[in-house]
Structure 1
Amino acid sequence: MASKRIAQSSINWSALAERVPADQKGSLAAFKIKSDGYLRRVLANPPEPPKINWTLYKQTVPIPGMVDSFQKQYEALKIPYPADTLTSKIDAQWAEVKRAIEQFIQESNANIATCEKEIQHIQAQLPYSQMTMEDFRDAHPELALDPINKPTFWPHNPEEQMDYVDPDKPAQAAH
């Protein structure tokens, strides 16, 4: 009576196993065993309900009309195959995930290009072991010491300078 008979599993288990993390392989194996068991139980039953010999029952059942009533009800019984209402939702979610993946790939490629340019810039520089202080100042003006324009005290970190204000401490009111 069903409009569609399941003949075999439509799950590609090997492709699914490739995507499952190693710590969840046991759960996937348990799920596959349950799925295969369900498929075996479905395939063990015939696709159509068994035929009933109604004439035999009409001859043996003494109540008139009872077998005819049962026959009419049995033949009217239609067990519908469940309608697929989730495939469209899953396809919509997959399309959304694909867009997110494509966006991530584009952002990653842009980051890769930026990093490769930075690597090329660093490789084009003189190695630090061969730099003089002037070469370092030219390569990294924001990091180099500038005793004329920005004089600092040793060890030349922000905490040791005279105008340093600790950002973690609340500002004290002037007296």
Structure 2
Amino acid sequence: MAKRFTKPSINWTELEKRVSPDQKGKFLAFKAKSVSYLRRVEENPSEPPKINWAEYQKLVPVKGLVDKLKSQYDAFKVPVPEDTLSNSVDEQWKSLEPEIKDFCAELQKQIEGANKELARIKALPKFEDMTMEMYAEIFPDQALDPINRPTFWPHDPEDQIGYKPLPKKQEQIAKGNK
């Protein structure tokens, strides 16, 4: 007899925590279908009903017919496909675990860098309180420096003195990156 599942093996509360808000409706629809399927399976008995063959022997006039049906009924087995993929999936998961850990470590480094940048930005004075001198002190590479780096309106690189256009190939690459 095939293994019968009597309860879901899915931790729905943990899975729901990982679902993004815009996918919540689809998740709930999937959960409802899964639960309704499990309930339909649970409504049926795990074993087929027992047949009283002696009663049929008395009622059926054709000799040997009930014995033939009984032997066929007992010999019938519902084919259950073998699980040939679980092992390969487990092997794939084991081979991917180090990559996942490396990826998570790299993301954690990026998160720490972003948090440091956020802390630096939060430590800045409010925009309303900042003067041009303060801005030049904090962001020397971005601040307006009319003596050392004068620019002319509209302050785009291609409108400045000494601008050299990129060769066609590099220009196409630069436009593709935007």
Scaled to the shorter chain, the TM-score interval is: 0.5 to 0.7
Structure number with greater CO (CA < 8 Å, separation at least 6) is 1
Aligned mates of 1:76, 1:99 — CA distance in 2: 49
Q: Paired residue for 1:105?
A: 104
Q: Paired residue for 2:39?
A: 40
**Residue 8 to residue 82, structure 1, CA distance change in 2 (3 Å):** farther
- Give deviations 1:3-31, integer Å, cap 9, x for gaps: 31211111111111111111221111111
Q: How does 1:98-137 map to 2 (within 5 A)?
A: 98-111=97-110, 116=116
Which stretch shifts more, 79-88 or 16-25?
79-88
**Residue 75 to residue 24, structure 1, CA distance change in 2 (3 Å):** same
Q: Paired residue for 1:173?
A: none
2:54 corresponds to 1:55? yes
RMSD: 4.3
Unpaired runs of at least 5, structure 1? 171-175
Aligned residues: 163
Aligned mates of 1:42, 1:154 — CA distance in 2: 76
Aligned residue for 2:10, secondary structure, equals coil
Q: Paired residue for 1:65?
A: 64
Q: Is the 8 A contact 1:54 1:71 kept in 2?
A: yes
Q: Paired residue for 1:3?
A: 2
**Residue 140 to residue 69, structure 1, CA distance change in 2 (3 Å):** same
Which stretch shifts more, 93-102 or 14-23?
93-102
TM-score for the superposition, normalised by structure 1: 0.64
**Residue 88 to residue 80, structure 1, CA distance change in 2 (3 Å):** same
Larger radius of gyration: 1
Unpaired runs of at least 5, structure 2? 124-129, 170-178
Moved over 6 A (4+): 128-132, 150-155
Q: Is the 8 A contact 1:3 1:80 kept in 2?
A: no
Aligned residue for 2:8, secondary structure, equals coil
Aligned mates of 2:46, 2:32 — CA distance in 1: 23
Aligned residue for 2:47, secondary structure, equals coil
